[in-house]
Copies of this chain bind each other. A is one copy, B any other.
């Protein structure tokens, strides 16, 4: 019995499209197995784990380029280096959260003003966007 997979079965097993497998191959994230002359490539079952690894890393916020780095550490022996990558990613994510939190604060404030209907002549949101000053936090 042969446990090897066609690209279609690999894709289905990993929960991605065939085109995605090809794309990962082009990016060097997944090995392209030997192709018999005039035949189709066969993927080892381990390729499924590989693709899932990539998908999980993406869910943690890693880009495909960063995943490439993680895959070089896949043997689990370079814990320190892996941790550094994770710490850097954590810092970036926290920055994004801070950015978004600021946006949220602004929007919440503006929406509240709108809802209060304090300025029926001119929408507070539009007024803020049209303001002649810089966009600093003049409103919290």
Query: Taking beta carbons and an 8 Å cutoff, which residues of A are in contact with B?
Result: 15, 49, 52-53, 55-57, 59-61, 70, 73-80, 82-83, 86-87, 89-90, 93-94, 96-97, 100-101, 103-104, 106-108, 110-111, 114-115, 117, 120-132, 135, 137-139
Tell me the dominant secondary structure on chain A's binding face.
helix
- What residue in chain B is nearest A97 (Cβ atoms)? B100
| Known A59-B138, A135-B59; contact A83-B97, beta-carbon cutoff 8 A | no
Counting every copy of the chain, the complex holds: 2
- Leading 10 A-B pairs by shortest Cβ distance: A76-B122, A79-B123, A83-B114, A76-B126, A61-B103, A90-B107, A76-B123, A56-B135, A55-B135, A53-B129
Asked if B128 and A82 make an inter-chain contact with CB atoms under 8 angstroms apart, the answer reads: no
A108 to B97, CA, bound (A): 14
